Amino acid sequence: MIDFELPEFIKNQNQLIQMVAEQAMRPYSRDLDEHEHERPQAFVEMTWPFAQQMVKRDLKGLEIALNGRTGQNGNGAAKSAPTKPNYAILSLIMMIEQLSWGDAGQYLCLPHPMLGGAAIQSAGTPEQQIRFFKRFTEGEPKWGAMAITEAGAGSDNSSMRTTAVLDPDSNEWILNGEKIFITSGGLALEESDGVCVVWATVDPKAGRAGIKSFVVEGHTPGVTIAKAEHKLGIRASDTVTLHFDNARIPYENLLGSAEVRQKGAGTKGFKGAMKTFDSSRPAVAASAMGIARAALEFTQEKLAEEGIAVDYTKGTHELTAVERDLMEMEARHKGAWLLTLRAAAQMAHGQSNRLEASMCKFRAGEAVTWITQKAVELLGPMGYSREWLVEKWMRDAKINDIYEGTRQINQLIVARAILEYTRRELK
């Protein structure tokens, strides 16, 4: 029997997150949007203790898994494989949706490993995961980030030019290059003792096989913020350009093997790093769904005040154009949200979700863009004005159609998987 009932701890979490979204996010949305680069201090202070508990919960699971690698428990008896789904993944997806309903820009300032943590989980060893995640359980707020995109390497990450060269005398990696559009890059490396996972090539001639992931820790010499971006939306978020000038990284901060193999590079090389997107794309889709729900609910509320509400007992041909638009907004939102939950459920059950992650990311980005634009349209001049947050949600929405793989890239991934084409056969 399929059970759609949420676990009790997620229900309790949802109540807490809803309070944060209403009290520590929405009231500051407009001001933070109009004062870009100011930190959402109230949000950070309120969520840091909660974020610490989330990481502690994840750490407990990692330590159990690490102990289980020997095949024994504390009494020396053989361990059995876990059968329960990882509800922490569902918990995270639900939290992201609710926080983005509050304010997507502020959500991206959540003091948490975030994308950097996803990369460490995808390509790092259990020991590395435990070592880097532990810092997020103590002290002052800390952030995680991931640096992939370069000026000449956007959708095609294999063409990146940031290099990592091993210094045999010190046994350190020396990073040189520049990364752009890095979410929380400044928060992670300049304003806290956080971490940023940087993708770089150890052998430019080797192509994808030469690309590796390195954990750069906060306040590392040689790492500077070259630029803080001025953006259309999510203006409360920290988005920067990072410059690496002979930045020295400990050898053990390499995620996976340093070996370069042209074929069969293994799960810890470029392929392992790419697995990051299997978890980050459902997260982006969840954020999109939070923005879409905010716009949809607000539009329904304002139209209801004018006596306009959908009568679901009528046929489509009996509805007004506005009522049909509202129904279409609801349908697109529900469809994309169900795809997102499916991709998250597959992760929770330890199943591959490469196809579903791209499907939900593509559909959610498309849906939130259309829904928020339709909300502005239906609400007329007031929807376009800054008196309401609707125009802001429309601006915030568009990034979900771009980062973590553009709509076009995710369409390619879906098409290749369904049609069974290779990268060379379908470009």
- pLDDT, residue 401, reads 94
Give CA–CA dist 374/363, Å, rounded: 16
- Of the residues 305, 404, 420, 425, which is catalytic? 404
- pLDDT, residue 223, reads 98
275-419 — its CATH code? 1.20.140.10
Give CA–CA dist 164/176, Å, rounded: 7
The token pair that represents 357 in the structure block: 């992650």
- pLDDT, residue 302, reads 97
How big is the CA angle at 296 (ends 363 and 118), to the nearest 5 degrees?
A: 45
Indicate if the alpha-carbon torsion angle 22, 115, 345, 329 is positive or negative.
Answer: positive
- pLDDT, residue 269, reads 58
Residue owning tokens 């559009």: 181
Q: Which of 355, 424, 411, 421 is nearest to 155 (CA)?
A: 411
- pLDDT, residue 73, reads 46
Q: Which of 284, 296, 291, 287 is nearest to 359 (CA)?
A: 284
Residues in the chain with pLDDT values less than 50: 70, 72-81, 264-267
The token pair that represents 367 in the structure block: 């849906």
Task: Name the superfamily (CATH) of residues 144-269.
Answer: Butyryl-CoA Dehydrogenase, subunit A, domain 2 (2.40.110.10)
> What does the domain layout of the chain look like in residue ranges?
8-137, 144-269, 275-419
Residues whose CB is less than 8 angstroms from the CB of residue 410 and which lie 6 or more positions away in sequence, other chains included: 281, 358, 359, 361, 362, 365
DSSP string, 184-230: THHHHHTSSS-EEEEEEES-GGGGGGGEEEEEEETT-TTEEEEEEPP
Q: Fill in the amino acid letter for 34.
A: E
Note the CATH architecture for domain 8-137: Orthogonal Bundle (1.10)
Do 275-419 and 144-269 have the same topology in CATH?
A: no
Question: Does the annotation count 323 as an active-site position?
Answer: no
